[in-house]
Amino acid sequence: MVWQFQVRKNFVAIQADEVLSKLLPKLKQEKEVLVFDKKKYLGFVNKRDIIRVGINLPEEKVCNLVFKPPTIYENTDELTIAKYFVETGAYYLPVLDLNDKNKILSVIYRDDFLKDVVSPYLKKIMVKEIPSKSIKTIRKEDNLAKALSLFQEFNISKLIVYNDKLEGIITLSNIITMFMHSTQVSKRILQNTLVKEVMKEDVITIEKSALVPKVINLFLEKNVSSVVVLDNLNLFGIITKTDLLERYIYLKEGELKQSSIQISAKFPELDKVDLEKRLSQLERFGKGQIKIFAYYKKRKEKFRGLPLINCRVRVIGPKQSFNTNVEGWGVEHATELAIKKLKRQMGEVSL
């Protein structure tokens, strides 16, 4: 298969028996690091994974953080690659040799895929059709402990700094970079460090009437993963690279008349057939084609043997999108909470 996008040979790697303090400098160099056990490819770890264990555990083994993404070969189609980017949150995905699954031939960068595949496909679509309007904000006088708590609670990696006006943006990456060379980051340090000390005041924005290729150019030129969307200088929403990939999948699957539900999780014990049946309740709200993306993340806490599950669901239709983010004890409970919340949001609105 001849892909319509660039592949690259360069990537950063680390051995599985190394510790977090050795990984952090590599994550400053690259957002994602491939993990090997000697010559055996195990998977990757990226900046977002660090929050699962905290940045104050310098002796945590890299092997405890690794995630193995779905396998991509040279004959994998572009729609499947887009789904894998959404499912894994990866910055780049390795392309493996069909005859040797430990041999990495090249890597596919998400930015290259957006530029070469998604941008031309969505070239006539306006930004206002895509962004999430469920914006999470924080004040610049709040501390980093609150910011990290919000990141964990809503399974996000960026917050808009807002107090009657747009003042900045703070990301998980900003916090990790600030403490990159610290041997330990205590709760006290996080409580005593204010958002305004870490945030970026130069926020990249775009008007809602702009076309998708313009926002993708901003992603690449400014090296950012999200852009704030304005409506005549008023806060309208925020658009991310994942939002664009989801829209590409939604439209591409509409052409191919494929499944309307995609379920993603970084843990294996999911009954996807049962979850698809539960989530399909939402399809009745769409008079046209809708696409449902469900993301699951397991927390450390347990109650009566059930883990705390973060469930984020996004419903995309021809006219509108809806989002929810909930936590529940066990996958089924979290899913039902998400469905109920979305039903209240959607009502009988025609997507």
CB 346 within 8 A of CB 314: no
Backbone φ and ψ of 161, nearest 5°: -90, 115
Q: Which candidate, 265, 218, 246, places its Cα nearest to that of 323?
A: 246
Cβ partners under 8 Å of residue 164, min gap 6: none
Beta strand 137-138 pairing with 100-109 = unpaired
Beta strands across the sheet bearing 158-162? 137-138, 158-162, 166-171
pTM value surpassing 0.95? no
What does the pLDDT profile of the chain (351 residues) look like in tens digits? Answer: 567 678 888 889 999 999 888 887 888 778 889 999 998 999 998 876 665 555 556 677 888 888 888 889 999 999 999 999 988 888 899 999 988 888 899 999 999 999 999 999 999 999 998 866 568 899 999 999 999 888 877 777 889 998 888 899 998 877 877 775 555 566 788 888 999 999 988 899 999 999 999 999 999 999 888 899 998 888 888 899 999 999 999 888 877 666 588 888 877 778 888 999 999 888 776 556 788 989 898 888 999 899 999 898 988 877 677 888 889 999 999 999 999 988 888 775 544
CB 31 within 8 A of CB 93: no
Residue type, 229: V
**What angle, rounded to 10 degrees, do the helices at 272-279 and 331-346 form?**
20
Residues 229, 237: Cα–Cα separation, whole Å: 5
Q: What is the CA radius of gyration of the chain?
A: 20
Strand, helix or coil for residue 185: coil
Strand, helix or coil for residue 333: helix
Q: Which CATH architecture has domain 127-242?
A: Roll (3.10)
Q: Which candidate, 343, 141, 83, 110, places its Cα nearest to that of 219?
A: 110
Q: List, for residues 253-278, the tens digit of each pLDDT value.
A: 877 666 588 888 877 778 888 999 99
| Residue 83 CB-half CA count within 13 A | 25
13-110 topology per CATH: CBS-domain (3.10.580)
Domains 13-110 and 127-242 share a fold: yes
Q: List, for residues 282-292, the tens digit of each pLDDT value.
A: 877 655 678 89
Q: Domain residue spans in the chain?
A: 13-110, 127-242, 259-346
- Residue 31 per-residue DSSP state: S
Concatenating the DSSP letter of every residue in 266-292 gives: SSS---HHHHHHHHGGGGGG-SS--EE
Superfamily of domain 259-346: Ribosome hibernation promotion factor-like (3.30.160.100)
